[in-house]
Amino acid sequence: MRNAPTILHLDMDAFYASVEQASKPSLRGKAVIVGGLGPRGVVATASYEARVFGVHSAMPMGQARRLAPNAAYLVPRFGIYRDISDQVMGLLRELSPLVEPLSLDEAFVDLEAGEAAWDERSARLVGAKLRADIRAATGLAGSVGLAASKMLAKIASEEAKPDGLVLIEPGTERALLGPMSVRILPGVGPATGDHLRRAGIHTVEEIAEAGEDELVRLLGKAHGHALHAMALAHDDRPVVAEREAKSVSVEDTYDVDIHDRVRVGMEVQRLADRCVRRLRGAGLSGRTIVLKVRRYDFSTLTRSETLRGPTDDPAVVREAAARLLDSVDTTGGVRLLGVGVSGLADYTQEDLFAQAAGEREQHAREGEGEREGEHEEPAEEREVVPVERRWVAGHDVRHAEYGHGWVQGSGLGRVTVRFETPGSEPGRVRTFRVDDPGLEAADPLPLVEAGSGGPGTVVGSGRSGSSGGSGAGGVVSAGADGGGVGEAPAVSG
């Protein structure tokens, strides 16, 4: 471990929910829950106002609705989340070449590698400036932890939430960690925590006192050794700038089990195409195609096939996924499907036979279409069946007369829209027919207008004040700014 707190951990506060509050003035200071809204949906993020009711990430959405029935329930908008994440990661890379993203809203930074900080004072200044820069660029709040190791920096950022900064001075780590629950340590989940509790070990200090031999006996050699070292505040893991992707995959969970074998096959083909788009977007190809099927009884099956060489050809991936599906019994129904590609490479060794087969299939489809076209009715004589448009709760729309807004909810042939923008006052609500010709889907608006210091009001968690003050063991905390609160009530989607 180093002698200065020059490893920084940034965690954006309630990221998805905070983006939604920043986008939608009427939701600022209100309970906002983002996730899948179907019967089998789960919470992706809950705002701090929603957490007061006991709602947390990974909770089933049905349970969240029981705990917070009056919250706003929104479907994620991953496009805008990725755009804002790119902005934040860009600010981090200005500090150091060693930035290790853990997710869209979380990353480690080695400040020493970028010569941005070398002691406690310079590290604290960098952390404070970073939080201000993020606020100016995105209008959002992030919590910063600074310490001499990755483990401690992450613990510090947890202590800093929401919207704060905590620095752990080298030499004070044991005193800080000692009284904390064993669950604070990386790798200690519910199962390991229960195992330690049954052995009479509840705190980090009790892990250290138990000794390495006892932990190895309880948890095995690798886990026991690592856990004892962490309890002593020993963590030499470096910040790694690039994490090599091991696989690319996509999956969908269905609100109602799929029993129709043809529908299952179509879903697998659609997932294969999505997976290839993601693969090509990353400039990769892969040799092993993986199919994941979770059946009606929650049993999960995976099947894989390894090709002769890496590919990013959608036809090849579709064919392989279809072959894998042939070996899976889906009679009782399917609740989840996934397609992935592993054995990644940054080049493609073309499968000429599969490629040729794909071309033949395409030509055959075109020929069949031409033959069918010979007997088609004239266009003006064909009956046109309108398809009802689907409006997703929380997503952006634009109306020809009323301008930009977002969907509060839809059903029974109607869609309710609140018309407001990130820099406006809470907007008015109007209801339209789902096929209203003046209403169309729209791209999200920037949270911060060019040249401004933030949206119309300062957006944060809706809470204000210090994030805990000074703690024991040399912990220093910086305070937080308050969040603006809109007056209009939030409506569930």
* Token duo for residue 94: 């200005």
372, 317 Cβ separation under 8 angstroms: no
Give every strand in the sheet of 99-103, ordered side by side. 99-103, 106-110, 7-12, 142-147, 165-168, 475-478
197, 47 Cβ separation under 8 angstroms: no
Closest of 441, 364, 432, 457 to residue 404, by C-alpha:
441
Cα-Cα end-to-end distance for the chain: 49
Q: How far apart are CA 441 and CA 391, in angstroms?
A: 8
* Residue position matching structure tokens 């018309």: 419
* Residue position matching structure tokens 């969240």: 64
Q: How far apart are CA 4 and CA 169, in angstroms?
A: 8
Q: How far apart are CA 399 and CA 3, in angstroms?
A: 58
Q: How far apart are CA 317 and CA 306, in angstroms?
A: 11
Please identify which of the residues 20, 100, 106, 267 carries the catalytic annotation: 106
Residue 112: active-site member: no
Closest of 312, 329, 331, 325 to residue 268, by C-alpha:
325
Q: Coil, helix or strand for 201?
A: coil
Q: Where are the beta strands (DSSP E) in 271-392?
A: 285-295, 300-311, 334-345
Phi, psi of 286 (to 5 degrees): -150, 160
Q: How far apart are CA 334 and CA 40, in angstroms?
A: 13
Q: How far apart are CA 466 and CA 178, in angstroms?
A: 24
Q: How far apart are CA 356 and CA 362, in angstroms?
A: 10
Phi, psi of 447 (to 5 degrees): -70, -30
Phi, psi of 316 (to 5 degrees): -65, -45
389, 380 Cβ separation under 8 angstroms: no
**Dihedral sign (CA 292, 295, 301, 305):** negative
Instruction: Give the residue numbers marked as catalytic.
Output: 106
